[in-house]
């Protein structure tokens, strides 16, 4: 050993400890990493936007006296019975199978108490959810598990799922651990197998066929209920425009922070665009077609609080949808369960192995011992509280901007903290009137 000072140990940025750990894991297991949730990257997001608030040029509304509306109509284009919600925050599609029956019941209870809708998922419609959801959106997915005309007709809207933000271009996956007798029966599959859901619909391909499929669904439901089209954040301008052309009443746009029950980590983190980048593109498509506010836009993927709601609406959305946040409100990843998360080799806040069916919170499991821990009445109350708080927060911001309805928020109420967020959202960087990409700059 020389007496000269040594260069301190230096980790590679490229071959970081995290990257190396994943190489070792893949080499040992022979399978890619599968997990739940959405992108965990630090992405440009709503946090990078600020509201300007009222000043001399605009005056605010009194917080405890003056009304600020929150309701929203969805499906006014073709449906005889469009949906009217008290708040513009809906519950995103999550399947029975990925979630337990009591968790689905809680989503229905909470959403109904808050005056909004829930959505089925890739496992058909359960009585728990239909029975407890005043307004229920029925997803029409490539797998068609449990699909039948009676459930179509007792839904309040149909959501034709083309893509999902966590995995645009990908299908679904429900691993064998969660294929219980009931899940297997609803999906008409053998118990315990790894269940794959196709990435494309089995009986149509492309936008022209989609138009004919939407027409068939309207005929079967006698043009009564709205038909949504859900797209992942891949090419939001064209996908929104094609959905409008195909006859959608509502476009549901899911960015890459949107969650999934189980997908390859490499897919979640490397395919799709951030929610913030997707919204203006979709809004522009609607505006270019003269259909903004006529075909409603619901945005999901990383909505956590009333500020996120207000920002999404200011950028032109008619409503937002929450999935991951709703599960957290129910009790997912609660630090109170830390000891149990440790036993699973993780920690509260980072637990994402939802596909393994061992969720100590009893939400993403089909194990009766675990899901019976979960109280759907209490869960529903927590979700209702959370939805009410988000709405109050969004109203607080809207009033501060002088708006008497959340839908009156507009891009002019916003500025951005970073060049990236400014370019994506199409709003100026704070302290300037510079919008990157506009007017040749």
Partner 1 sequence: MQSFDLGKDGLRALNSALHALKGQTNMTAWEVINPKGAHAIAAGVDAPVDITVRGSTGYYCAGMNKQATIRIKGSAGPGVAENMMSGAVIVDGDASQYAGATGRGGLLVIKGNASSRCGISMKGIDIVVHGNIGHMSCFMAQSGNIVVLGNAGEALGDSLYEARIFVRGTVKSLGADCIEKEMRDEHLLILEDLLRRGEADAKAKPEEFRRYGSARKLYNFNIDNASAY
Residues of this chain that bind partner 1 (CB under 8 A): 30-31, 143-144, 147-149, 152, 176, 188-190, 192-194, 196, 198, 202-204, 209, 212-213, 215-216, 219-223
The HSE-up count of residue 361 (CA atoms within 13 Å, CB side) is 27
- Of 131 and 149, CB closest to partner 1: 149
Distances 163 to 160, 232, 323 between C-alpha atoms, Å: 9, 4, 15
Q: Shortest gap between Cβ of 247 and partner 1 (angstroms)?
A: 12
Q: How far is the CB of 438 from partner 1 (least distance, A)?
A: 43
Q: Is the CB of 73 or the CB of 204 nearer to partner 1? A: 204
| Least distance to partner 1, CB of residue 150, Å | 8
Least spacing, CB of residue 194 vs partner 1, in Å: 5
Cα-trace Rg, the chain? 22
Shortest approach of partner 1 to residue 197 CB, angstroms? 9
Judged by beta carbon, residue 205 or residue 372, the one nearer partner 1 is 205
CB 79 → partner 1: shortest distance, Å?
A: 14
Q: Which is nearer to partner 1, 152 or 289 (CB)?
A: 152
Q: Which is nearer to partner 1, 142 or 258 (CB)?
A: 142
Least distance from partner 1 to the Cβ atom of residue 117, Å: 23
Spatial CA neighbour of 36 closest among 353, 331, 358: 353
Beta-bridge partner residues of 158: 138, 227
Query: Nearest to residue 154, comparing CAs of 249, 225, 82?
Result: 225
In the bound state with partner 1, the residue whose beta carbon lies nearer, of 121 and 301, is 121
Q: Whose Cβ is closer to partner 1: residue 181's or residue 216's?
A: 216
Contact 418, 434 (CB under 8 A): no
In whole angstroms, the minimum distance from the beta carbon of 186 to partner 1 comes to 11
In the complex with partner 1, the residue whose CB is nearer, 62 or 219, is 219
Residue 141 CB, shortest distance to partner 1, in Å, is 11
Residue 97 or 426 with smaller CB distance to partner 1: 97
Shortest Å distance, C-beta 209 to partner 1: 8
Q: Around Cβ 378, how many Cβ atoms within 10 Å?
A: 13
Q: Based on CB atoms, which residue is closest to partner 1, 214 or 248?
A: 214
Of 3 and 219, CB closest to partner 1 = 219
- Residue 210 to residue 367: CA distance in whole angstroms: 38
CA count, 13 A, side-chain hemisphere, 207:
12
Q: How far is the CB of 143 from partner 1 (least distance, A)?
A: 7
């Amino acid at each position: 050993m020389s007496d000269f000072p040594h260069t301190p140990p230096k980790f590679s940025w490229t071959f970081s400890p995290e990257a190396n750990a994943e190489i070792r894991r893949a080499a040992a297991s022979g399978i890619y990493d599968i997990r739940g949730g959405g992108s965990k990257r630090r992405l440009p997001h709503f946090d990078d936007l600020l509201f300007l608030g009222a000043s001399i040029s605009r005056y605010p509304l009194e917080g405890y006296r003056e009304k600020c509306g929150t309701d929203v109509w969805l499906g006014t284009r073709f449906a005889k019975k469009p949906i009217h919600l008290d708040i513009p925050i809906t519950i995103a599609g999550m399947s029975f199978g990925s979630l337990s029956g009591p968790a689905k019941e809680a989503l229905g209870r909470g959403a109904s108490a808050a005056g909004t809708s829930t959505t089925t998922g890739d496992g058909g419609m359960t009585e728990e959810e239909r029975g407890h959801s005043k307004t229920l959106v029925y997803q029409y997915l490539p797998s068609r598990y449990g699909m039948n005309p009676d459930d179509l007709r007792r839904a309040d809207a149909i959501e034709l799922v083309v893509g999902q933000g966590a995995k645009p271009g990908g299908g679904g996956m429900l691993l064998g651990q969660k294929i219980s007798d009931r899940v297997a029966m609803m999906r008409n599959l053998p118990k315990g197998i790894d269940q794959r859901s196709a990435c494309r619909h089995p009986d149509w391909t492309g936008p022209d066929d989609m138009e004919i499929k939407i027409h068939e669904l309207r005929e079967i439901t006698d043009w009564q209920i709205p038909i949504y089209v859900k797209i992942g954040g891949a090419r939001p301008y064209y996908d929104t425009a094609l959905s409008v052309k195909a006859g959608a009443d509502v476009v549901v746009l899911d960015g890459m922070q949107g969650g999934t029950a189980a997908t390859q980590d490499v897919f979640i983190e490397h395919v799709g665009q951030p929610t913030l980048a997707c919204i203006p593109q979709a809004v522009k498509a609607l505006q270019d077609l003269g259909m903004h506010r006529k075909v409603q836009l619901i945005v999901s993927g990383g909505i956590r609080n009333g500020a996120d709601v207000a920002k999404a609406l200011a950028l032109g959305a008619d409503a937002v949808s929450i999935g991951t946040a709703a599960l957290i409100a129910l009790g997912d990843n609660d630090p109170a369960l830390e000891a149990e998360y440790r036993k699973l080799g993780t920690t509260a806040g980072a637990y994402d192995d939802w596909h393994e069916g061992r969720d100590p919170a009893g939400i993403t499991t089909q194990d009766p011992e675990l899901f019976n821990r979960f109280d759907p009445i209490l869960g529903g109350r927590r979700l209702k509280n959370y939805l009410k708080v988000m709405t109050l927060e969004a109203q607080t911001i809207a009033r501060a901007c002088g708006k008497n309805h959340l839908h009156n928020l507009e891009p002019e109420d916003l500025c951005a903290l970073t060049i990236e967020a400014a370019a994506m959202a199409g709003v100026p960087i704070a302290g300037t009137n510079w919008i990157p990409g506009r007017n040749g700059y």
